[in-house]
Structure 1
Amino acid sequence: MVARANFTTSRNNEDNYGHGTHVAGIVAATDSNGMGVGGVCPGCTILAGKILSDTGMRSSSGLANGINWAVQNGAQVINMSLIVGASITLETAVNNAWNAGVVLVAAAGNGNSTTMMYPGAYPNVIAVGATDNNDKKASFSTYGTWVDVAAPGVSVYSTFPNHRFVLAREYNRSQGYDIGSGTSMSSPIVAAVAALAWSANPGASNWTVREKVEASTNPIEGVGTFWTHGRVNADLAVHW
């Protein structure tokens, strides 16, 4: 983790909720150390922008500020494992990030409906639905042709804070490592696949990386109805 910033009303940028640590571990937890879990892109570095407060509250303005901060600090891929209200400020931040050459990825939501959720529904964001361990749509996953790709999102094992946090109390999660479910877990898998693909082809543009991530998916059940493309495949995304 190379930088942290707090875009909430919480008094510091520590993760006292637990969600951000779980998401970050899915992306970049260290592998080959005999501890816990390895992330999808363990060589990636993390810019940790705190958008969820200590109680899980969030805002579109806070997310917009986080996007702007990430771009200013050199982010190449921005993962957004949250849902907020649509706003002109947020859409402008998304579009500015895309125009600056960034790939943006977001959770589609956990409402088991076709309702478009933001920021995932913005055209310049890869919206991600969730699959289960049978490669089927997760029961909770928001879906529809506005959702771009799918990735595993049920009982995903990853990092949690090594101190007391809200999700431990609300969902009986353990400190250190435990499972989590949601499109919030699917989104960082896709973001990490984009990072892997870009690392393998450093001269590529964000448009090309997005195209390759989407074109290299596996055609699982639901293509064309639950999501436009299929379930992401890191190996195929890298070898292009």
Structure 2
Amino acid sequence: MGAATSDQYFPRQYALQNDGQSFTNTAGDITVPVGTKDADVDAVEAWNTTTGGGIKVAVLDSGVASDNPDIAPKVVARTNFSSSATKAGDPVAEDYYGHGTHVDGNVAATVDNTIGVAGVCPGCTILAGKVLNDSGVGSSSSLASGIDWAVSNGAKVVNMSLGVRASRTLETAVNNAWKKGVVLVAAAGNGGNQTKIYPGAYPNVIAVGATDNNDAKAPFSTYGASWVDLAAPGVNVYSTFPNHPFVLATQNNRSQGYDVGNGSSMSSAIVAAAAALAWSAHPGATNSAIRSGLESTADRVAGTGTYWAYGRVNAAGAVK
């Protein structure tokens, strides 16, 4: 394929531009089969309108690596609500699990800098709220605190690539954020069933399921058009990882720096980034209008109306 950017791994980022390419992961021990041309979110086309400059996206996750130069410079604020104490000498919200850094890269990794990958909203900045500890575990109360912090720090979009126990405190935080004009996005989950998870199942949150490079539902993706709103790529999605040891490297044999990741977590991040692009293109819009735009312009791929309500997100459509 002809690379649209100079980023080293951009040709492997089918989520942003799918030319039907086959590729391997960083270590070369995973080969991703040929995909379907244009089974992507049209990020490159969206960039003709905006790259998202000036929009803050709060990523409430396991933190973000301060040692990955593709994403660390995009972080404008960090805080830690998790049960993991900040290690001596490290900045607050450092990521030792790995999940948060991967999610952040999908949102806002620097574009066209010759290294690594590009985020869907490369002009966006990140508010890194650490609500998952260094084992990837969090609580509804820590997430609620993260949402409140994000709103008070000017987030236009809040991404929650996680699931926690439903609680009145969490639902109140979600509803307050929505009332203050924020778009909230969350993963639908990886249970392969229709069981609702939270915060994705709250009405004021966009719940996102996962597709692959052929626009088919990922086998692991939770589904159900009654509560899952959109879909986005979540299988073998290339993004950033820490350059220091992290838990997912041990658990999943992932490389430091950059590698593929799987899950509706990646899908949620991509939709959150598309929402941020839409905010940038329509600065006077309401959060309700941004959400409606994402839903109405989604591509009605197979499973729309059954697995998810509206289809696979299309960033280029959302910025029109």
Q: TM-score range by the shorter chain?
A: over 0.9
Whole-Å separation in 1 of the counterparts to 2:171 and 2:282: 28
Aligned residues: 239
Whole-Å separation in 1 of the counterparts to 2:295 and 2:106: 19
2:78 corresponding residue in structure 1: 4
Whole-Å separation in 2 of the counterparts to 1:205 and 1:22: 29
Q: By how many angstroms is 1:109 displaced?
A: 0.2
Q: Secondary structure at the match of 2:194?
A: coil
Residue 43 of structure 1: which of 123, 132, 135 is its match? Answer: 123
Whole-Å separation in 2 of the counterparts to 1:55 and 1:62: 15
Whole-Å separation in 2 of the counterparts to 1:213 and 1:138: 21
1:133 corresponding residue in structure 2: 213
Q: Deviations over 1:169-205 (max 9, x none)?
A: 1101111101100000000100000000110111111
Q: Secondary structure at the match of 1:91?
A: helix
Equivalences for 1:70-219 in 2 at 5 Å? 70-145=150-225, 146-219=227-300
Amino acid of the residue matched to residue 41 of structure 1? C
Q: Deviations over 1:148-184 (max 9, x none)?
A: 0000000000000110000001101111101100000
Q: Deviations over 1:209-235 (max 9, x none)?
A: 000001100010111110000000011
Whole-Å separation in 2 of the counterparts to 1:48 and 1:174: 22
Whole-Å separation in 2 of the counterparts to 1:86 and 1:173: 31
Whole-Å separation in 1 of the counterparts to 2:116 and 2:94: 21
TM-score by length of 1: 0.99
Amino acid of the residue matched to residue 165 of structure 2? G
Q: Secondary structure at the match of 2:260?
A: strand
**Higher helix proportion, which one?**
1
Q: Secondary structure at the match of 1:46?
A: strand
Q: Secondary structure at the match of 1:170?
A: helix
Whole-Å separation in 2 of the counterparts to 1:51 and 1:174: 24
Whole-Å separation in 1 of the counterparts to 2:219 and 2:129: 29
Whole-Å separation in 1 of the counterparts to 2:248 and 2:236: 14
Whole-Å separation in 1 of the counterparts to 2:80 and 2:237: 26
Q: Secondary structure at the match of 2:125?
A: coil
Q: By how many angstroms is 1:34 displaced?
A: 0.5
Q: Deviations over 1:64-123 (max 9, x none)?
A: 000000001110000000000100000000000000000000000000101111000000
Q: Secondary structure at the match of 1:211?
A: helix
Q: By how many angstroms is 1:57 displaced?
A: 1.0
Q: Does 1:226 align with 2:303?
A: no
RMSD: 0.5
Whole-Å separation in 1 of the counterparts to 2:304 and 2:257: 36
Whole-Å separation in 1 of the counterparts to 2:187 and 2:281: 25
Q: By how many angstroms is 1:9 displaced?
A: 1.3
Whole-Å separation in 1 of the counterparts to 2:172 and 2:96: 29
Whole-Å separation in 2 of the counterparts to 1:26 and 1:71: 21
Amino acid of the residue matched to residue 2 of structure 1? V
Structure 2: stretches of 5+ with no match in the other structure: 1-74, 87-92
Amino acid of the residue matched to residue 243 of structure 2? N
Larger Rg: 2
Whole-Å separation in 1 of the counterparts to 2:136 and 2:120: 25
Structure 1: stretches of 5+ with no match in the other structure: none
